[in-house]
């Protein structure tokens, strides 16, 4: 499944949906995208793993290209973010281009937010963060999480050619993030019907493609399906808002409880249980993919098949996560239906118990 290119400049109610370009070789549309954004001085944010792609930018952008910020790190450390903003300001950048995964896109969001310039995203992982207005910065105190229309990309370019060398662990961890976006959106009854449709369709595409991608190398059509699923997951997440699962993962990863993928693999089954009857739609969607298998079991086995078994599942890690549940549930961004106090209390109790209790019984 490959959506048609959407070159809209969103306005009004549609302003929360970036324009998109799809397909192999679509990075070649970058000049047209920058022209549409009115960009004359483009600063790229792309980590060291994107050297090959970044090397194409001078020929693609010509005089528009003013340089690259390559000091990206997971969870957007405040010091690096401040330096990136300062560099963009000093060079008079009027547009920021993010190429990479969550670290590059997260850093570029802060630059766009601070300088009020348009953001163009070229994702090379499957988290779906390019479709959300959520941003995160980490300090000595932990994670500072917010949301702003200014941190939502104006345009997203989905080019599967850029993902052919994606490491399996990165593909798995980012893809599981997108799966969790879909599952969590389906746990919230107030989500608009189109967002629920995105969540269901995104979950189907990710479920079918991620195992092949993580096993690598995957063919372009499979990579495109995973990108499409991730994009739908991001749209669903933007509509639903962050809930208990993602806020807790962000807070815990920023405080170095464990790496993000391991935390997500550990938390996804018990969070589904913690939502109780509210998770019926999510459980039903998973059941369509694994008939006659309990949803929590199917999710745990899916993560394990991707190589993301919760190897950090120790009493100390579970205790640390349990201690952070109340903070996640009380976060200003948390939607009540996705971080209700009963679910928060039940998740804390599940984490304090044995992993054997992460079952539907």
The domains of the chain are located at 12-163, 168-357
> What distances in angstroms separate CA 243 from CA 42, 257, 318, 338, one per listed residue?
34, 19, 19, 4
Structure tokens at 159: 């080019």
Tens of pLDDT, residue by residue over 88-136, are 999 999 999 999 999 999 999 999 999 999 999 999 999 999 999 999 9
Q: Residue 304 and residue 287: Cα distance in Å, rounded?
A: 17
pLDDT category of residue 360 using cuts at 50, 70 and 90: very low
Q: Residue 124 and residue 161: Cα distance in Å, rounded?
A: 9
> What distances in angstroms separate CA 237 from CA 115, 313, 358, one per listed residue?
25, 26, 24
pLDDT, residue 143, reads: 80
pLDDT, residue 310, reads: 61
Mean pLDDT across the stretch 270-298? 94
Tens of pLDDT, residue by residue over 183-212, are 999 988 788 899 999 999 999 999 999 999
Please identify, in words, the CATH class of the domain defined by 12-163: alpha beta
The total number of residues written for the chain in this structure: 361
- Cα Rg of the chain, angstroms: 19
Question: CA-based diameter of the chain, in Å?
Answer: 63
Mean pLDDT of the chain: 90
pLDDT, residue 175, reads: 96
pLDDT, residue 332, reads: 86
pLDDT category of residue 254 using cuts at 50, 70 and 90: confident
Question: Which has more confidence, 11 or 177?
Answer: 177
pLDDT category of residue 154 using cuts at 50, 70 and 90: very high
pLDDT category of residue 16 using cuts at 50, 70 and 90: low
Please identify, in words, the CATH class of the domain defined by 168-357: mainly alpha
Strands in 31-141 per DSSP E:
42-45, 65-69, 95-100, 119-123, 134-139
% pLDDT > 70, the chain: 93
Q: Residue 295 and residue 187: Cα distance in Å, rounded?
A: 13
pLDDT category of residue 5 using cuts at 50, 70 and 90: low
DSSP 81-103: HHHHHHHHHHTT-SEEEEEESHH
Q: Residue 195 and residue 223: Cα distance in Å, rounded?
A: 22
Bridge partners of 96, per DSSP, are 43, 119
Q: Residue 231 and residue 23: Cα distance in Å, rounded?
A: 13
Tens of pLDDT, residue by residue over 27-86, are 999 999 999 999 999 999 999 999 999 999 999 999 999 999 999 988 899 999 999 999
pLDDT, residue 11, reads: 32
pLDDT category of residue 14 using cuts at 50, 70 and 90: very low
pLDDT, residue 9, reads: 35
Q: Residue 144 and residue 36: Cα distance in Å, rounded?
A: 32
Q: Residue 110 and residue 104: Cα distance in Å, rounded?
A: 10
pLDDT, residue 242, reads: 86
């Amino acid at each position: 499944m490959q959506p048609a290119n959407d070159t809209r400049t969103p306005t009004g109610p549609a302003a929360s949906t970036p324009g998109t370009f799809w397909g192999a070789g679509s990075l070649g549309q970058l000049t047209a995208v920058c022209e549409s954004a009115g960009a004359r001085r483009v600063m790229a944010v792309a980590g060291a793993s994107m050297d090959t792609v970044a090397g194409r930018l001078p020929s693609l952008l010509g005089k528009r290209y003013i340089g690259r910020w390559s000091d990206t790190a997971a969870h957007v450390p405040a010091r690096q973010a401040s330096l990136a903003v300062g560099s963009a300001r000093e060079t008079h950048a009027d547009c920021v281009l993010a190429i990479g995964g969550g670290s590059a896109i997260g850093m570029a969001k802060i630059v766009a937010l601070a300088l009020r310039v348009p953001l163009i995203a070229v994702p090379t992982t499957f988290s779906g963060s390019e479709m959300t207005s959520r941003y995160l910065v980490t300090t000595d105190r932990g994670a500072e999480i917010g949301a702003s229309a200014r941190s939502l990309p104006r345009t997203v370019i989905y080019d599967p050619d850029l993902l052919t060398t994606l490491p399996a662990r990165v593909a798995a961890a980012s893809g599981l993030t997108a799966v969790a976006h879909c599952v969590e959106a389906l746990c919230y009854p107030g989500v608009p019907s189109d967002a629920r449709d995105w969540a269901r369709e995104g979950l189907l595409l990710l479920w079918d493609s991620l195992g092949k991608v993580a096993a690598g190398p995957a063919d372009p059509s499979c990579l495109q399906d995973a990108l499409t699923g991730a994009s739908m997951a991001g749209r669903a997440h933007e509509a639903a808002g962050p809930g208990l699962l993602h806020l807790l993962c962000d807070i815990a990863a920023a405080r170095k409880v464990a790496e993000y993928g391991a935390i997500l693999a550990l938390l996804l089954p018990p969070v589904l249980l913690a939502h109780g009857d509210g998770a019926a739609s999510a459980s039903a969607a998973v059941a369509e993919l694994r008939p006659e298998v309990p949803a929590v079991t199917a999710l745990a086995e899916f993560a394990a098949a991707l190589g993301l078994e919760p190897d950090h599942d120790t009493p100390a890690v579970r205790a640390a996560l349990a201690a952070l549940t109340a903070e996640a549930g009380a976060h200003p961004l948390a939607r009540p239906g996705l971080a209700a106090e009963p679910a928060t209390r039940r998740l804390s109790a599940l984490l304090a118990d044995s992993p054997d209790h992460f079952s539907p019984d």
